[in-house]
Amino acid sequence: MACTPPFDIVFFGGTGDLALRKLIPALYQAHRAGLLHADGRIFALGRGAQGREDYLRTLETRVKPRLGADFESTTWADFRDRIDFLQLDANRQADYAKLVESLGLDAQRITVCYLATAPQLFITICENLARIGMNHPNIRLVLEKPLGHDLQSSNAINAAVGECFDENQIYRIDHYLGKESVQNLLAIRFGNTLFEPLWRREWIDHIQITIAEELGVEERGDFYDHTGALRDMLQSHLLQLLCMVAMEPPSSLAEEAVRNEKLKVLKSLKPFSVEDVLGKTVRGQYRSGAIRGAPVPGYREEPHVAPDSITETFVALQAEVMNWRWAGVPFFLRTGKRMQERVAEIVIHFRPVPHALFHTPFNLQPANKLVIRLQPSESIRLYFLAKAPGDAMNLQSAYLNLDFHTLFKARHADAYERLLLDVIHGRLALFMRRDEQAQAWVWVEPILACWQQHGIAPKPYISGSWGPAASSGLLSRAGVVWHEEN
């Protein structure tokens, strides 16, 4: 990847968890790889009264363990020269003048304003930026998810932000789109002749998309208890993955072409009726249990979570994309915290052969699966049946494995690094357009409304399990099971 042009990047929420855990480490990695222009500055903004040195000390303490062997003292010393800390209260107009003073308002300079704050502050920050002229065409605005709490609040944010910035200045981030395997999914689908003819209802039985986390809500109990898994993960990450799997070939890789195709998928999602919500969605909440042998508390015992909370930490559902390519093919999506394993994957299950020549045990069906793994490691596996050595015609499941780390020795950029570089370079293709995001809300809202109106409380599941039993039930009604790597 080419080195960036000169830039400034301003992190609102610069002392927050995301900046310390993901964003600044991602920039460090880009710096270490020589991908940042020497004239690239980083401004972390925070409300607290602390000096630059204090900030850098905290930053280093947080970043070092995350970077492990990649933390090199001399590289870090170089990198920290780029960083400044500014005290700014997003609600105080006067503080923005200090920001301009530190940055120097240069309309030719690429300046990224990254809003890693609570969404309630987005409108205020944008209005204040516009007031001081920090909305000129070279300003790029990054909006972290969740963008609002529902369609109405997300529309309100988008409308107000749209008053201050052009749509092509707005980068709505979904870090899952920056993951290498997601882009590889496009490469294998549209760069090869092998898969595309099979990528349709005639040959695909069903599709599963799983994002399972071992982590609980950590320090984010307050945020999470008002959000839940459907808003936090499904409305964004899982639907974006579904779009990547289901979309038609775009006319080019230009941002509008890709985004138009994704929007068509979102518009083709079958709306949920009340019966669908009751029969095809599963809500869960973790109880205490063990993760990798260590005991962990239940969700309701987590800090800042209501002791009688009915927020879901798990959701599974069956979706359908109503178009010529996908009509009748179930898409099973699930995500949860405190699950047995950290894994994110898309599994394409192909149909069984039309006539069974061989006796294949039930656990070997369906024979053909394509497993696109995003986490913990990135790979694409194609499963098929092969004859096991010996006299008898005994079939065995085998796979071709494309392990990106082994195959391509090159360094793999983490999703945030990739996306931050895209913003500096001005590439919008991997960011969500306003209409895409609104459409995702349109689709999930009836689920939220039905859960609330019918008092659907989440089903408990033990931490370290695969979620409530009802999640397996959802699939077994369709005669299938969740994919588990063997």
Binding interface with ligand BG6 (CB under 6 A): 145, 175, 213, 215, 232, 344, 375
- What are 305's two structure tokens? 């979570």
Q: Which is nearer to ligand BG6, 325 or 412 (CB)?
A: 412
Catalytic residue among 31, 237, 349, 483: 237
Q: Which of 418, 417, 423, 414 is nearest to 114 (CA)?
A: 423
Q: Which is nearer to ligand BG6, 204 or 239 (CB)?
A: 239
Q: What distance in Å separates the CA atoms of residue 346 and residue 204, rounded to the nearest whole number?
A: 13
Least Cβ distance, residue 131 to ligand BG6 (angstroms): 30
Helix (H, G, I), strand (E, B) or coil at 194: coil
Q: Which is nearer to ligand BG6, 213 or 378 (CB)?
A: 213
- What are 336's two structure tokens? 């949860």
Would you call 361 exposed, middle or buried from its count of C-beta atoms within 10 A (0-12, 13-18, 19+)? exposed
Q: Which is nearer to ligand BG6, 230 or 395 (CB)?
A: 230
For 160, residues 6+ apart whose C-beta sits below 8 A from its C-beta are 122, 123, 126, 127
- What are 157's two structure tokens? 């944010």
Longest dimension (CA), the chain: 83
Other C-beta atoms within 10 Å of 163: how many?
12
Least Cβ distance, residue 414 to ligand BG6 (angstroms): 9
Q: What distance in Å separates the CA atoms of residue 50 and residue 55, rounded to the nearest whole number?
A: 7
Helix (H, G, I), strand (E, B) or coil at 147: coil
Q: Which is nearer to ligand BG6, 55 or 416 (CB)?
A: 416
Length of the chain: 486
8 A C-beta contact, residue 31 and residue 82: yes
| Strand spans (E) along 218-277 | none
Q: Which is nearer to ligand BG6, 22 or 41 (CB)?
A: 22
Q: What distance in Å separates the CA atoms of residue 448 and residue 450, rounded to the nearest whole number?
A: 6
Least Cβ distance, residue 167 to ligand BG6 (angstroms): 23
Q: What distance in Å separates the CA atoms of residue 284 and residue 305, rounded to the nearest whole number?
A: 15
Least Cβ distance, residue 234 to ligand BG6 (angstroms): 11
Q: Is 237 a catalytic residue?
A: yes
The C-alpha R_g of the chain, in whole angstroms, comes to 23
Least Cβ distance, residue 232 to ligand BG6 (angstroms): 5
Q: What distance in Å separates the CA atoms of residue 258 and residue 59, rounded to the nearest whole number?
A: 37
| DSSP-derived secondary structure for 52-71 | HHHHHHHHHHHHHHHHGGG-
Q: Which is nearer to ligand BG6, 213 or 225 (CB)?
A: 213
Least Cβ distance, residue 427 to ligand BG6 (angstroms): 20
First to last CA, the chain: 36
Least Cβ distance, residue 187 to ligand BG6 (angstroms): 20
Q: What distance in Å separates the CA atoms of residue 205 and residue 327, rounded to the nearest whole number?
A: 11
Least Cβ distance, residue 22 to ligand BG6 (angstroms): 8
Q: Which is nearer to ligand BG6, 276 or 302 (CB)?
A: 302
Taking 3-state DSSP, the helix, strand and coil percentages for the chain, each rounded to the nearest 5, stand at 40, 25, 35
Q: What distance in Å separates the CA atoms of residue 152 and residue 206, rounded to the nearest whole number?
A: 33
CA angle 32, 432, 313 (to 5 degrees): 85
Least Cβ distance, residue 481 to ligand BG6 (angstroms): 23
Helix (H, G, I), strand (E, B) or coil at 384: strand
- Angle between helix axes 24-32 and 415-425 (nearest 10 degrees) is 80
Q: Which is nearer to ligand BG6, 339 or 380 (CB)?
A: 339
Give the active site residues. 237
